[in-house]
Structure 1
């Protein structure tokens, strides 16, 4: 049987999308930056797309890759190494009788305190005497049922699926999701709440959904009725996504039908299937839909890890959050993997007519596929004969919520942050220990936090774009290419006629810093600064800068990394800003991480100025930009010193780099710069305690490069 259906859409029950659909964004106030951003993501997606499953040769070659690919996938889900399989402490809290089946109300702990609620549907005739039966794990989408303020979970909304399976001879365990359950957690850390530290931790709620599902399979294997060699997995919408995670991570299930749960990177980040999502469907999906894409995968690679097990990809052709092109391109690539095994019939596309709905055609396709591959039944005609629904209270698992539940805060602990390194008490031992540990940390940062940097830097193409002198101050603008699609401008201030500078201070600007830089210079330099409006000069600051440049023989330089100043694409905290930050993570980057790359390239561009080619360079930054400057210095040995103001004390606050908190935190990064001088300016003397760790290491290793100054006292 080959399934490739284009069926008529009939009336179907309502369904919910992953997240509240994003409203069409207002016209962007920053068209220049927006155009640059869109071109950048098109280029990034193409780079990833062009290398996804394009090197298939033989089955043996593919098999050799699979273990490492599975490890990478688990790592991107926050599950490498796999956590211990602790006692499930499974409890059946009650049961209810249906038409030809029984429902057991089940709860278990996938890890201590992380409660999973579900219903186990069993045929009325099932018993160990009659032989073991196949089982289905049904993972729910976003369809919670709430009545009178009581959450009954998504298992109530999707109950007709397990009811059908139980009525037709299967055991079926249906799970609530983390967010839409009797004990709710959170799926919306970056989508809605601005919890960008999830990216620093390498955390995705999809990892929790995956782990809960893997432990549910553990539970099914303990059931005396279940044949553990005949387990299938299915789900739609958010459950479709979780089905994909399971097939990539767990080799035990035999057959899969993910429905409306996958699209490729191009659909998520570039294509516009509807006016609601003009730059890709990521705007319509919450965080459970995504792995932390450290290794820069496209989604066909996830699907390919199912091969050669039977896999039916289900979707409707008018689904605006899983568009046709996004799933058909995946199917085209995955077919080639199944062909390596001579198993083409085991991968099929079930495409029905209609929108993002749970239609009878999709349900029939699921059931027919499971009958074939779990029962070896290709003759029974599948009917959409749904039994009567239970009332929500009948399916509720808990009569009283457990007090030790961690569901609401699991994002705090699911992916642990790196423990603070303990400095040996002996100075001699500490010095040797740090000499060994330092390169390890740098290597971990490179491969985990900054793996999305270009493998080879493009041509710098530095050129003088402007050279303006007014009132004893010369401003030069140097245009350069940071990476493909990202063209930036570096600014250099000197005092013409003065002696050659003995030091150049390069400021890494944030939004506030950019405003001050422009205001300090005034309207005469507006064109070189690429300003539409001409700012009024801060005369006192202008005179101060001019006097300092002459008296101390300094040059001042500044760079506004991407998304700031001339290339600004959105206001901080806006919907467009949130969307951009989420898009970066889906190509294995963060906005701040790529800004570090921009600063590195600005350092190189600065050296194209003949009078500054060998001048000692100090990097300066404030707030998050201080952190960006700090990390740029780690990779640019030509930076002689750092001057950092209000440097965040933890990456939980910023800057945001992918996975960085799994390696170290800001105080340890400060220590990595030694022995080059670092000055940290804090607001209060009491803030100095934050930097006790690098100061202690400095004392142990015998240098005095770090100074912490309280500027507020």
Structure 2
């Protein structure tokens, strides 16, 4: 059976088995697959395999690891939006009340991880504390507790963990997340809210959660009841993921137990588990990691990877794979005993079996206690007893933190001389290649270009060709050439614009329009398309040679039109350290390279006049920065800013549309936007 078919089968099985997700939403069956769906599935499989094979592959010795470890840590901080790290402002910790049950005291408190970024929390401690105690930060998953329209925070759902720790000699801080907390922020920017500009900004709510966790450790260290040298972290589902982020970036964590919070790229991308996770589960994968690298950053500190065997959104095979790869790092340290793997029977639930091993692990590594667990974790308090705010603060930034957490690029004026523009453009392009287009293949020979067929209709000849952009994509490149076009007459005396060839970048809507005209010429190539003679006339009315380029996801390679499917296709791209638009730009760059080097096959030659409209104008603008063969750039309906444009990773941290237009004017002889020459 072909690998792509295995991928499709695995995806279907994953859909059929999912009954819930970490965000508490039901799954839907997949729509019918198309050729475009099969191609993109094969592409995701190949890309995932490449990243998986590279993950930690260069590490052979402890020196290999330790020499790279800090670089990996800085990369993770960058991918979480924490480079540079925000200022550690005053926490302004405020205790709003206290409750007691038996020998457990719980304080209701809030702190500000940065001004206005409130974190609501419950701090559990024994009623009597005679000496500094070990402490645990418990990070909540998506456990919604709402009564009569009032959110009590997911800390209420997970209160039994905090109570158990307090009853057994710990201080435990249980913090709300920005999603499902008392102040309800957003984890679902790309998942549900179509906030694709989060990718442009390099923003992920995982970064906010990681930051809130580091500030929670600051709070624990400030408490007289806490021994700062004995602090651990645990949490499940979303809280499992945040446990990973915190333990990886903060050395103060002495023991970690992420429960159902990590698996590998294969599960997320190929098997489709990304559809079951909101954005808080992922860093913006700028440096193209597989998840074992995150786990390896915890080494050699005690780490227990904990999961169930029927967890449909953290499948067993991926969890075992992560453990096997990180085990190699622990072995290099000679710290095998500090790495554990617990798999118990069950679905994606907070089972007692998972809790017991977590309690024993923390007892062993924070207290040196190997005794049996004799006490169950039970809920002691009613939701209203744990609520922090009577009234939500007016200065809160939780609901809008995605707007400011990762700042945009600071651009001090526009370069006002050609020399300054050239210097700025060089710097911007280096950053774009590293942070935005890192997934582009390395420089290669000219893409293979093959002529499929030629047809003459009236005074025009149409050549249908294909070029290889990136495996498995062979993309259409269609040339319409007036038979008397002087462009291809070597004796032609006229130069300039009459010698130019229009290269038009198509989006799906414009592909369909062009296809209706071309169906007049080659109906057999456009089955199901209604031929339109008027469109054909307009396509040939200028009397100039035109080349149409359809990047991946457009025309013959269009993937599903189901909105939900398209959302998770776009999210898969991000998990691979790219975006659909970023790879479409690569496709157009590749098309120009094929035209430059193999134009004789098409009986056409440049210089090229690159054109696009709407989102295709955005693709054409970026393409112009990476090709030296464009003499004129004609753009219509160009988006006004990155925020309104197709998403490109981190681009707003580097440069915005006005600066990109400036760069194009330094690269291309003539830039025309909406009929105005720049």
TM-score category (smaller protein) = over 0.9
The residue aligned with 2:426 is 439
The residue aligned with 1:455 is 442
Quote the offset at 1:25 in angstroms: 1.6
Match runs of 1:104-253 below 5 Å: 104-126=107-129, 130-253=130-253
Secondary structure of the 1:233 match is: strand
Residue deviations 1:526-581, cap 9 Å, x none?
A: 33xx4221422233x433443422xxxx210011111111110122x711111110
The residue aligned with 1:662 is 653
Equivalent-residue separation in structure 2 for 1:207 and 1:97 (angstroms): 34
Quote the offset at 1:410 in angstroms: 0.5
Secondary structure of the 1:548 match is: coil
Equivalent-residue separation in structure 2 for 1:545 and 1:201 (angstroms): 38
**Are residues 1:543 and 2:537 paired?**
yes
Quote the offset at 1:498 in angstroms: 3.7
Match runs of 1:461-480 below 5 Å: 461-480=448-467
The residue aligned with 2:549 is 559
Verify the 8 A CA contact 1:508 1:629 in the aligned structure 2.
Answer: yes
**Are residues 1:405 and 2:391 paired?**
no
The residue aligned with 1:531 is 526
Quote the offset at 1:524 in angstroms: 2.7
Equivalent of 1:327 in 301, 305, 319: 319
Residue deviations 1:342-374, cap 9 Å, x none?
A: 110100101000101111110000000000000
Superposition TM-score, scaled by structure 2 size: 0.93
Secondary structure of the 1:522 match is: helix
Equivalent-residue separation in structure 2 for 1:143 and 1:362 (angstroms): 17
Quote the offset at 1:455 in angstroms: 2.0
Equivalent-residue separation in structure 2 for 1:591 and 1:458 (angstroms): 23
Equivalent of 1:587 in 561, 566, 576: 576
Verify the 8 A CA contact 2:414 2:659 in the aligned structure 1.
Answer: no
Quote the offset at 1:673 in angstroms: 1.4
Residue deviations 1:646-696, cap 9 Å, x none?
A: 00010101122110000111110011012324444449xxxxxxxxxxxxx
The residue aligned with 1:87 is 90
RMSD: 1.7
Match runs of 1:278-427 below 5 Å: 280-378=272-370, 380-423=371-414
Secondary structure of the 2:625 match is: helix
Verify the 8 A CA contact 1:458 1:481 in the aligned structure 2.
Answer: no
Larger deviation: 59-68 or 339-348? 59-68
Quote the offset at 1:436 in angstroms: 2.5
Equivalent of 1:622 in 613, 625, 636: 613
Residue deviations 1:174-206, cap 9 Å, x none?
A: 000111100010000100111110000001011
Superposition TM-score, scaled by structure 1 size: 0.88
The residue aligned with 2:493 is none
In structure 1, runs of 5+ residues without a counterpart are 1-13, 272-279, 684-705, 709-713
Verify the 8 A CA contact 1:584 1:590 in the aligned structure 2.
Answer: yes
Quote the offset at 1:106 in angstroms: 1.2
The residue aligned with 2:586 is 597
Equivalent-residue separation in structure 2 for 1:399 and 1:498 (angstroms): 77
In structure 2, runs of 5+ residues without a counterpart are 1-18, 489-498
Equivalent-residue separation in structure 2 for 1:598 and 1:524 (angstroms): 26
Larger deviation: 147-156 or 604-613? 604-613
Verify the 8 A CA contact 1:138 1:162 in the aligned structure 2.
Answer: yes
Equivalent-residue separation in structure 1 for 2:443 and 2:42 (angstroms): 19
The residue aligned with 2:43 is 40
Equivalent-residue separation in structure 2 for 1:319 and 1:666 (angstroms): 43
Equivalent-residue separation in structure 2 for 1:16 and 1:563 (angstroms): 28
Equivalent of 2:478 in 491, 497, 511: 491
Quote the offset at 1:445 in angstroms: 1.0
Verify the 8 A CA contact 1:648 1:655 in the aligned structure 2.
Answer: no
Equivalent-residue separation in structure 1 for 2:437 and 2:573 (angstroms): 12
Verify the 8 A CA contact 1:25 1:575 in the aligned structure 2.
Answer: no
Quote the offset at 1:432 in angstroms: 4.3
Secondary structure of the 2:545 match is: strand
The change in CA–CA distance for 1:498 and 1:628 in structure 2 (over 3 A counts) is: closer
